[in-house]
Amino acid sequence: MNHTKLFENIVKKQSFLCVGLDSEREKIPAFLHKKKDPVFEFNKRIIDATHKYAVAYKPNVAFYECYGSKGWISLEATVTYIKNNYPDLLVIADAKRGDIG
């Protein structure tokens, strides 16, 4: 993904929508907790429901880090899913630190 492609998507979709993927396990529907990777399954549903309108996705790395290695696996699965299924969409890693308080 480059700036030109991002701009083309913004114009084509008439959208600046960047979807945050800040997935907290407590907010994931109960039926998804039965899946092998509930966080990824939740993200996948959000991505599939919004890809027509979104030009980018922004997972917040801290939400995944707090789950240890399972969180990193969920993050990798999420990014891979976007890249494989919606390659024209930008993925931005929100990995800032010290922005609260």
Residues carrying an active site annotation? 96
In the chain, the largest separation of any two C-alpha atoms, in whole Å, equals 41
Name the burial class of residue 55, with classes exposed (0-12), middle (13-18) and buried (19+) by CB atoms within 10 angstroms of its CB: buried
Per the CB < 8 A criterion, the answer to whether 55 and 20 are in contact is no
